[in-house]
Amino acid sequence: MTSSTAVFDVSELGTSSYAVACEVRAGLMRPTKSLSPWLFYDEIGSELFEQITRVPEYYLTRTERELFEAHSPSILQEMGLPAAEEQTCQDSAQPAQLRRRVTIAELGAGTGTKTGILLRTLAAVQRNVVYQPIDVSASALEHATKLQVEIPGVVVRPRVANYAAEEYRIDRTAPCRVLALYIGSSIGNFAPEEARSVLKRLSAQLLPGDNLLLGTDRAPGRHKPVDRLRAAYDDAQGITARFNRNVLTRLNRELGANFALENFEHVVIWNPGESRIEMHLKSTTSQTVKLPANSAGPAMHIQFRAGETIHTENSYKFTEASVAELLSSAGFEVARTFLDTKELFALTLAKVI
């Protein structure tokens, strides 16, 4: 396998308008109106999320990056790979397990910025690395493909897919092990049963000897008061509010809806019973929104009462015990957990049972 500097053209790929229309119709017809969080990530939404990761209140990305910087060598060694300085090219004396190459596949990859840290570490060990980012946003994947220019030895094979609702494939070239990444606490966007389903679909593609690295945001505790947690989703600059409302902009643009953004307020709630942050868009007035006829069905007139909300996102928060239980239910076993010094965030390395 040789590295390449060509950047894949993913500009013509993306989630179909039919899938968007079906999701919107189903969500807005529910007694409690909701929209799936994957709808956030059009080109504008992906850029707004990147801005969110840089605001002071949003500790998640910053802390997870620090964990990658501190523990990438340990993660690979936990998998049985030698440190870079221990690696000898074509060393036939190495155990077969150590000589099997690792390919990295990432769900919800985004721009792949944090993953680049791990890719650099792995490239120093095995020289050539295949990276398979899977994301609903074509524009984000265009950024992720640039990693093969920035990191010698890395080949990027992007795939645009809604991994929660569509079939996707992880390519495996023998002999090869897969390290699947699901980081950024993206698993927290799903209700517990949905999260198990996402991880089960992933584990069905993995084999004994493969691993999963799961990033999860920690539940409030001694170092993390609820106010700090809530602020991460309601920053002073209002970028998260713009991100939340942008889903309505997308529906206006792609489906011809007529949402008036000024009539919807960004609302953040901590739900302790469910251990989750909730994001909502609250209608500030009684209003009717029209959704024109499209490939998914006839025209709809959606009534909103003053104060009624559209539930746009959940972000579940975890303990070590709840992560272990989730992984076990999906066919994984915890190998090692990496925590930051303030125990704000966790990277959990798991192996296929």
pLDDT tens-digit series, residues 219-230: 998 889 999 999
Q: What pLDDT does residue 287 have?
A: 98
* Structure tokens belonging to residue 113: 């910025």
Is residue 265 pLDDT above 90, yes or no?
A: yes
Is residue 277 pLDDT above 80, yes or no?
A: yes
Range name among 108-117, 215-224, 273-282, 324-333 with the lowest pLDDT average: 108-117
Q: What pLDDT does residue 144 have?
A: 87
Helix H or strand E encompassing 1: none
Give SS3 for 52: helix
Range name among 62-66, 168-172, 325-329, 348-352 with the lowest pLDDT average: 168-172
pTM of the model as a whole: 0.86
DSSP string, 115-184: HHHHHHHHHHHHS-EEEEEEES-HHHHHHHTTHHHHSTTEEE--EE--TTTS-------SSEEEEEEE-T
Who's near 334: CB < 8 A, 6+ residues apart?
323, 324, 327, 348, 349, 350
Q: What pLDDT does residue 88 have?
A: 44
The number of angstroms, rounded, from the C-alpha of 205 to the middle of its chain's C-alpha atoms is: 18
Find the mean pLDDT for residues 70-79: 96
* Structure tokens belonging to residue 181: 């990444």
Domains in the chain, CATH or no CATH each: 17-50+225-316 (no CATH), 62-85+98-218+318-352 (3.40.50.150)
Residue among 249, 250, 243 nearest 266 (CA): 243
Percent of the chain with pLDDT over 90: 74
pLDDT tens sequence across 90-141: 444 444 444 578 999 999 987 788 999 999 999 999 889 999 999 888 888 8
pLDDT tens sequence across 7-43: 333 333 345 788 899 999 999 999 999 999 989 989 8
Select the more confidently predicted residue: 2 or 303. Answer: 303
Percent of the chain with pLDDT over 70: 91
Helix H or strand E encompassing 243: helix 239-255
Is residue 327 pLDDT above 70, yes or no?
A: yes
Find the mean pLDDT for residues 268-289: 98
Beta pairing, strands 101-107 & 129-135: parallel
Q: Binning pLDDT at 50, 70 and 90, where does residue 288 land?
A: very high
Find the mean pLDDT for residues 269-291: 97
* Structure tokens belonging to residue 156: 């990027």
Residue among 118, 115, 132 nearest 77 (CA): 118
Q: For 343, which DSSP code?
A: -
Q: Name 159's bridge partners.
A: 134
Q: Binning pLDDT at 50, 70 and 90, where does residue 83 land?
A: low
Find the mean pLDDT for residues 254-260: 96
